[in-house]
Amino acid sequence: MAPVITADDVQTVIDALPIQGRIMMRLLLLQYFDVTQEDIEYMAADRPDPRRQTGTKAPPHVLMSREAIASVADRVAQYRRQVRLRRERTWLQVECLRKLCALCESQADRAEHLLTTKFGLSQTAVKEIRQQARVALPKPAIRALEQKWENDEISEADYQKERLIIECQTQARLAERHRKRLDLSQREHVATNHTPLQDHEIAHIWGIPASSLAGRKVKYLHQYLQALQTRLQTSVSPLQQAGSPPLDLWKETLTALSQRPVERSVAVYDGLERTESALLEKLTAFAWGTLPEEIEGRFWLSLVHGASSNAVHSEPTRSLFGLQRLAAILSDIDASPEALDQELLTRTAPKPKVAIEQLEAPPEQAPFELGEMGQHVLKSLMGEDRS
């Protein structure tokens, strides 16, 4: 059995490295580790002095200004925010899509149950309905059904039965679409978890040339892997070592750290769908699967990528607000069989017809009597009676 690397093993090995090694590893794994104030001050002091490059003799001691320390700290915060928001975004996609798949499957199953128990369809007929979900066209079928209802060509029970058939196919097709999105989001989330900070990003934070950075990276990454290998050998017996396959320690490191909980951020409303109330209304319809299919696909893309002309694109959390609210809406939905049955029956019920009735005549009003002041004004307008 191969030895298992834990996040505590990674933390212990990194803390035992020299300060340059600690900084290098924490920057590489910035989405999992925080950079300390000591690290920031070391990077600010470690930046090459431009006076040495121009041939001017630099003083033997190094003076760090507050601006230099603040500059390094700002760049660390900038990249930490970017990588952690990217991880949170993909994690939210996976969590939302899992719940959406389960909800759509449950609604399709409950629609089948209602068709067999309430409307008397056979299991074979319901199975054929489910198999035809991919090729079904819901909008023309709903229009034709509405026309029949308006023309009194179909009863209320038959209308609801046909409407439940359409809803069953719609939810089954939507569940399949969500499963494809879930597979893509899971691969993206794994790729995000296994992507360290890039060399040019580390060089921008540290303020050192790429050549110096490359040498330090090779040196301290080698030291880290050697120390991790030694730690694993001391915790595993020789018999287990002989029977276990070789490990990719760097890949196992990223896998172990990816098990850590995702850090949640506070996202602000970004203008998606113009108003927050309109966004919440559309998110609720998206969660229940009642959005038209041509709108549903574009709306999901706007949630994932912030693809909206109304969003403030300078804000990096533009696609997190909608995903966070969608996760909250899905958590609040009652997915019990009774609640889903009631929702489906309410959704598929026909619209009540408005009866055309003759307008009633307005009630007769009581005669209006003028008061003393009214009579005085009326007399003044009409003049005195001289007859």
Nearest to residue 146, comparing CAs of 348, 354, 286? 348
Q: Encode burial over 45-61: b for 16+ CB neighbours within 10 A, e otherwise.
A: ebeeeeeeeeeeeeeee
Q: Which residue has the higher pLDDT, 48 or 347?
A: 347
The whole-number average pLDDT for the span 254-282 is 92
- Let me know: does 171 contact 129? Beta carbons within 8 Å: no
Cα gap 34→82, rounded to integer Å = 14
Question: Closest Cα partner for 103 from 51, 178, 194?
Answer: 178
What span, in angstroms and rounded, lies between the C-alpha atoms of 89 and 294?
A: 24
On whether the CB atoms of residues 166 and 136 are closer than 8 A, the answer is yes
Q: Are 90 and 189 in contact (CB under 8 A)?
A: yes
**pLDDT category of residue 236 using cuts at 50, 70 and 90:** low
The residue with greater pLDDT, 244 or 128, is 128
291 vs 55, more confident: 291
CA-closest candidate to residue 91, choices 256, 331, 264, 250: 264
> Is the predicted pLDDT of residue 2 greater than 70, yes or no?
no
pLDDT tens across 40-49, in order? Answer: 999 999 887 6
Q: What is the pLDDT of residues 95-144, one digit of tens each?
A: 999 999 999 999 999 999 999 999 999 999 999 999 999 999 999 999 99
How confident is residue 359, by pLDDT bands cut at 50, 70 and 90? very low
The whole-number pLDDT of residue 364 equals 62
Mean pLDDT, rounded, of the chain: 87
Answer yes or no: is pLDDT of 28 > 80: yes
Across residues 85-98, what is the average pLDDT? 96
Predicted TM-score of the model (pTM): 0.84
Lowest-pLDDT range of 80-89, 228-237, 351-360: 351-360
pLDDT of the residue at 352 = 87
- With CA atoms as reference, report the closest residue to 107 among 131, 99, 303: 99
Average pLDDT over residues 222-235: 92
What is the per-residue pLDDT for 107? Answer: 97
pLDDT band at 380 (very low <50, low <70, confident <90, very high): confident
- In degrees to the nearest 10, what's the CA dihedral of 58, 64, 66, 71? 80
Residue 247 confidence (pLDDT) above 90: no
Tokens of 157: 């029970």
pLDDT band for position 61 (50/70/90)? low
